[in-house]
Structure 1
Amino acid sequence: MLKSFLSLFSDPAAPALTSGDAEFAIAVLLVRLARADGDYEEAERTRIDRVLAARDGLSPWEAADLRGRAEEAESLAPDTVRFTRVIKDRIAYEDRIAVIEALWDVAFADHVRDAEEDALIRLTANLLGINDRDSALARQRVEARRA
């Protein structure tokens, strides 16, 4: 079932995607980021759940369920582009900056700034059309909230 859902992200003949698909794509990116350093910790899973709950108005159980589905999708997805394309096409620029903030929030969940996570955020910002200045400001806002 998930493989057929993933085909929605890459098949040009597939039906139009919805904003809910964009939110699912964000969940997948958050999981991909948390796994980027090879150490997917409970603190990162908890942070993803909180981010998803806050973004989408989900209960803790709904957020955990969404994260679980995103974990499965992330393990099957060969690249990041298919998810960023959906987000870029469906979400306004300012809201895409909020996606970068969410990624930084998850990256800092384990209190370690990892090179693999940094690289994935830079790639994602580029694919989302976020300029370097706005991406750096997003990181700084997250760091300031965590201080």
Structure 2
Amino acid sequence: MGNCVTKPETDGYDSDKNVEFSGGNVHLITTKESWDQKMAEASKDGKIVIANFSATWCGPCKMIAPFYIELSEKYPSLMFIVIDVEELTEFSTSWDIKATPTFFFLRDGQQIDKLVGANKPELQKKITAIIDSTSQYPK
């Protein structure tokens, strides 16, 4: 399991910012307003939100991003969002992000679970548990 705790030194070159982090059914959150909008939408639709706090410079974040996008397509009953901790620094700090990636599982804006690190099996397990617990209809 990998996670990033500090930003590496760079030469100022920023490659394809956010491109590899959003896709499929993953919504890119770039403002507090877009966060509020998605939270309201999820509450109205009765969806659980999986919020991925990532950074473009974080290796483990880049590694798990395609899997996260894949999960967003596999589980349309959930809302998948990604927040760049560099773009929304104050907002990310308010969520007490100590390492990236950090995944929050939210129901009506309230945390129901959390995962720190790029652990694919654990992320899949938590999503499966949420799907099982919220499924009112037989599969």
User: Shared fold by TM > 0.5?
Assistant: no
User: Normalising by structure 1, what TM-score?
Assistant: 0.32
- What's the TM-score, normalizing by structure 2? 0.33
Q: Per residue, is there more strand in 1 or in 2?
A: 2
